Amino acid sequence: MLVKIAAHEDQVRFSELGRLRAWHVVGPSRALRPGQVLHWSTGARELVLFRGRSGGVHALAAHCPHMGAHLGGGTVVGDSLQCPLHHWRFDGRGACPGKTAQRAFPVVERYGAILVFNGPVVLFPPPEVGTGDMRWGTSAPFTVQCDWLPVVANAFDLEHLRTVHHRELRDAPVVERPDPFTLRVRYTSRVTGRGLSDRVMKSLSGNHIGVTLTLHGGTLLSVESDLGRTRSALLAGLHPTRDGVSVRLAYAARRSRLPGVDWLALQVSRWLFTSFLRRDLSVLDGMRFNMAGAAEDPVLRQVLDFTASLPEAPEDERG
């Protein structure tokens, strides 16, 4: 999907989510077992991922460099992927002894999910979200029937936070750009809503919620909440679909030494985050994003500038 982004009044460019040189969420780690092969696309580039017999996950361009056979029909042999046509074997780096190498892509497993970088060279490290004492779970993806930029802008729309999510800011938000690939907003809010999830959040936080919202490369959005007595974290991966943009969540809660408490805390975290996000779906479905209107908001203006600056994969790397 193409999005027209006006970074400045005299500058217009187009950006496609699947072409952003960034980390993309492929799916939960548990979905790819040793010896399995997965065909996956960024929307602009086809990849195959496979888990070797030793447990590592690797990502290669989908079509064999020899005659173009699709490696999604290949077989895992040890820690290599064997082409179904002539049985060339490519290791996780794409090497095939005595043959043409295949293009490989960086892969990491974090937050219960598989992340792949859309480019052969990593431009920035995968995000660091939450703390080491957190337990993570993943949800099934859901689709929002609009383009990706409205979804991103919605997360940073603090007026929307008040009108739909029943939160009021306690102080002015702080916007940071620590590097060219990261946009971060910090703020503290209080609950004004009266729904069940609102009351639970108010009780957990003492009505003093510190939030750190970060956009990583345009494709990953993290939310870290400090509720005083507890902390929670969320990582949302955005992926283009025919109907809009798919959102897959990884959510976390602090580990506990008490039996069963980990599981309960994780379910509460999932419920609070999904309850919060569910309010957005009916609002964003069918949205035609008005960038001129968004640019009137000082925070959203920085979101537009940031997304306009993100690099895309060169034409010769795609497909």
Check residue 161 and give its pLDDT: 83
Mean pLDDT across 282-305:
91
Query: Which residue, chain included where needed, has tokens 């077989």?
Result: 75
Lowest mean pLDDT among 5-9, 56-60, 257-261: 5-9
Other Cβ atoms less than 10 A from the Cβ of 97: the count is 8
For domain 23-117, say whether CATH 2.60.120.650 is its number. Answer: no
> What mean pLDDT value characterizes the chain?
87
Measured between alpha carbons, how far is residue 272 from residues 59, 99, 118, 154 in Å? 34, 52, 31, 18
Distance between start and end Cα atoms, the chain:
15
**Cα–Cα distance for residue pair 210/261, rounded to 1 Å:** 23
pLDDT per residue as tens digits for the range 230-248: 778 999 999 999 999 999 9
Say if residue 30's pLDDT is above 70.
yes
Radius of gyration of the chain (CA): 21
121 CB-near residues (< 8 Å, 6+ apart): none
Mean pLDDT value across residues 194-206: 75
Give residue 130's pLDDT band: very low, low, confident or very high (50, 70, 90): confident
- Nearest alpha carbon to residue 226 among 198, 207, 248: 207
Residue 238: what pLDDT?
A: 96
Which distant-in-sequence residues (6+ apart) come within 8 Å of 28 by Cβ? 112, 113, 114, 138
**Token pair for 202:** 């108010």
Check if the beta carbon of residue 217 is closer than 8 Å to that of residue 21.
Answer: yes
pLDDT of residue 172: 92
Closest alpha carbon to 52 in 35, 32, 72 = 35
| CATH number listed for the domain at residues 134-308 | 3.90.380.10
- The 10s digit of each residue's pLDDT in 65-123 is 999 999 999 999 999 999 999 999 999 999 999 999 999 999 999 999 999 999 999 99
Q: Compute CA distances 188 → 91, 144, 148, 222, 245, whole Å.
A: 48, 27, 26, 16, 29
Report domain extents, the chain: 23-117, 134-308
The pLDDT of residue 315 is 66
Please check whether residue 11 is in contact with residue 99, taking contact to mean a CB–CB distance below 8 angstroms: no
Q: pLDDT at residue 11 above 70?
A: no
25 CB contacts (<8 Å, ≥6 apart)? 113, 114, 115, 219, 220, 235, 237, 239, 248, 250
